[in-house]
Amino acid sequence: MCLAIPGKIVEFDLQNPQLAMVDVVGVRRKVDLGLLQDDPLQAGDWVLIHVGFAMSKISEADAADQMRTLAILGEKEAAMEEVRGYGLENESSPGGTRGFVS
């Protein structure tokens, strides 16, 4: 159910554009892109592969964003604790239903 690995689209199958050769650190496999037919895909895009099918296009921006957040983990909290210590209650976390909040 859960084993899915990121791979890079190398080239599309000329006879069948729903298939593409995807590379995972030098290992290549034909992957079916049928589940991503609503998304525009091009060579060089990264996709998440599960049982030979691409499940999702990987957002490099979100990945970078996440790394930035992880790098400062704890620092913002510490800063916020200081702020709370001043009794300033207007620091509102925008809630979590639209994605993760640092």
Partner 1 sequence: MRFVDEFRSPELIGKAGEEIRRLADPRRHYRIMEVCGGHTHAIYRFGLKDLLPSNVELIHGPGCPVCVLPMGRIDDGLSLTEHPDFIFAAFGDMMRVPGTHGSPLERKARGMDVRIVYSPADALKLARCNPQRHVVFFAIGFETTAPSTALTIMRAKTEGVRNFSVFCNHVTIIPAIRAILDSPDMRLDGFVGPGHVSTVIGCRPYEWIAKDEGKPVVVSGFEPLDILQSIVMLLRQLRDGEAHVENQYKRVVPWEGNRAALRAMAEVFELRPYFEWRGLGFISQSALKIRAAFAEWDSEQRFSVPGIRVTDPKAAQCGEVLKGVLKPSQCKLFARECTPEQPIGALMVSSEGSCAAYYNYQHHKPVTIANAAAD
Partner 2 sequence: MATTVPKIKFREPQIEMAHGAGGKASRRLVEGLFVPLLFEPASGPLGDAAHIQINGTRIAMTTDAFVVNPLRFPGGSIGDLAINGTVNDLAVSGARAEAIVITFVLEAGLPTDILEDEVRAIANAAVQAGVRIAGGDTKVVEHGKADRMYITTTGIGRLIPGVTISPQSVKPGDRILLSGPIGDHGVTILLARGELDLEAEVKSDTRSVLPMVESTVRAAGSGIRWMRDPTRGGVATSLNELARDCGLGIVLREDCVPVRDAVRGACELLGLDPLHIANEGQFLAVVARDQSDAALAALRATPGGAEARMIGEVREQPAETVLAATSYGGSRVVDMLVGDPLPRIC
Q: Binding mask 24-63 vs partner 1 (x if CB under 8 A, - otherwise)? A: xx------x-xxxxx-------x-x-xxxx-xx-xxx-xx
Q: Is 29 in the site for partner 2 (CB under 8 A)?
A: yes
Give the whole-angstrom CA distance, residue 54 versus residue 39.
11
Burial 3-27 (b: 16+ CB within 10 A, else e): eeeebbbeebeeeeeebbbbeeeee
How near is the Cβ of 6 to partner 2 at its closest, in Å? 9
Among residues 14, 27, 67, 88, the one that binds partner 2 under rule CB under 8 A: 27
